[in-house]
């Protein structure tokens, strides 16, 4: 209980007070015991060990050494030892406050291996250099947690005129504290790697405009903390995996502008897997077979209470898909939907009777 209370109330000022009181206590004991018959100073080692432990817990130090001295005559060695430990930890804290905490060696090597699998024609990774004094926390696109030194964000997004090329090296999975990953416009001709689903802390993932082909890996359904997923503007095909329904925190899902992505699959119950999500923005533009799915599919999508924006551009929708919406007298004033884009479809009627909530 005493240790837990110390952790909760730990501050640098509090630590200074603890050190002062600790030193005064040592001096008092030294004065009281200096005439001890055996000349042995009986310092309270339990109190000392707890003090060192308290300092290390406060500042996140995980590797420290305790030297237990059996001393005679005085306790100067113990005082010097305590001072040295405090000096080391205070220096560690100062480095954190100044943002000088370097990245983890393991993660630095992982990023360098990731770089080796890429072609950097435009110098986007020019700051990524190998060397014992290199700090990957200062590399362009990388951001570390200031308290731990772990890489928590990797933003290497490109554009139509400036981008990276190549494949995503599996070494990137060493960044298990990653919360933000943007590799949009990475010019890749492969498939989305299954190991992307191993980032258990990831909240943002953007792999748009990457020329990825093949199926969306079902492993992406393991990213339980994901809030933003953008796989648009690729060459993805096949059925959208129902495992994406496991992403209960997902608010933004963009799957539009892929070559042959389908939403109609009887095994996964059309789009019912979306009912597990609290989406605010959903883009299914160019998704195939939406017009062949159940007549209730559109109604199901439009009545999602959390949904604010829905994009169904160029989905080959026809009057037969839309007219049931009119017949059901849908009124969206009670929902959050305020953007519905049905452009570039195959309508003969004028859509003007759908009232969206403001």
Residue spans per domain, the chain: 2-97, 105-341
Partners of residue 318 on adjacent β-strands = 346
Tokens of 108: 């630095």
What is the distance between the alpha carbons of residues 232 and 107, in angstroms, rounded to a whole number? 29
Show the tokens assigned to 73.
Answer: 């005559």
Parallel/antiparallel/unpaired status of strands 213-214 and 180-182 = unpaired
The confidence score (pLDDT) of residue 94 equals 44
Q: What is the pLDDT of residues 55-82, one digit of tens each?
A: 444 444 333 333 333 333 444 444 444 4
Each residue's pLDDT tens digit, 219-228:
999 999 999 9
Average pLDDT, the chain: 76
What integer pLDDT is reported at residue 195 of this predicted model?
Answer: 97
Say which residue, 302 or 340, is predicted with more confidence: 340
Q: Which residues contact 91 (CB under 8 A, 6 or more apart)?
A: none
Q: With 60 as the cut, is the pLDDT of residue 217 above it?
A: yes
| pLDDT at site 322 | 76
Is 186's pLDDT higher than 60? yes
- pTM for the model: 0.71
Predicted pLDDT of residue 106 = 96
Count CA atoms within 13 Å of residue 202 on its CB side.
Answer: 25
Domain 105-341 is found in CATH 3.80.10.10: yes
50: pLDDT strictly greater than 60: no
Q: What is the pLDDT of residues 134-162, one digit of tens each?
A: 999 999 999 999 999 999 999 999 999 99
Between CA 253 and CA 279 the distance in angstroms is 7
Q: Which residues contact 60 (CB under 8 A, 6 or more apart)?
A: 147, 148
pLDDT at residue 153, rounded to an integer: 98
């Amino acid at each position: 209980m005493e240790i837990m209370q110390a952790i909760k109330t730990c501050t640098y000022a509090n630590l200074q007070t603890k050190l002062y009181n600790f030193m005064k206590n040592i001096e008092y004991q030294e004065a009281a015991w200096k005439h001890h018959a055996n000349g042995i100073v009986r310092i309270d080692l339990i109190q000392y060990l707890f003090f060192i432990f308290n300092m290390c817990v406060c500042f996140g130090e995980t590797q420290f050494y305790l030297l237990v001295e059996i001393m005679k005559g005085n306790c100067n060695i113990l005082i010097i030892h305590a001072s040295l430990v405090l000096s080391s930890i205070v220096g560690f804290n100062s480095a954190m406050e100044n943002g000088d905490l370097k990245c983890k060696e393991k993660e630095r090597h992982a990023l360098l291996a990731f770089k080796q699998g890429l072609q950097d024609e435009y110098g986007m990774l020019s700051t990524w250099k190998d060397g014992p004094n290199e700090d990957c926390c200062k590399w362009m696109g990388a951001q570390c947690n200031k308290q731990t030194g772990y890489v928590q964000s990797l933003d290497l997004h490109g554009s139509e005129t400036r981008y990276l090329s190549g494949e995503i090296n599996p070494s990137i999975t060493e960044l298990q504290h990653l919360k933000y990953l943007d590799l949009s416009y990475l010019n890749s001709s492969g498939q989305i790697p299954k190991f992307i689903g191993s980032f258990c802390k990831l909240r943002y993932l953007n792999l748009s405009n990457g020329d990825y082909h093949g199926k969306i890996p079902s492993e992406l359904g393991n990213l339980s903390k994901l809030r933003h997923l953008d796989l648009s503007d690729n060459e993805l095909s096949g059925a959208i995996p129902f495992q994406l329904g496991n992403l209960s925190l997902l608010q933004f899902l963009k799957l539009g502008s892929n070559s042959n992505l389908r939403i109609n699959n009887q095994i996964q119950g059309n789009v019912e897997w979306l009912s597990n999500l609290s989406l605010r923005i959903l883009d299914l533009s160019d998704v195939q077979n939406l017009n062949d799915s159940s007549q209730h599919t559109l109604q199901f999508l439009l009545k999602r209470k959390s949904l604010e924006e829905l994009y169904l551009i160029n989905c080959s929708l026809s009057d037969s898909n839309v007219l049931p919406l009119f017949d059901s007298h849908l009124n969206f004033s009670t929902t959050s939907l305020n953007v519905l884009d049905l452009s570039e479809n195959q309508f003969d009627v004028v859509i003007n009777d759908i009232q969206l909530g403001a």
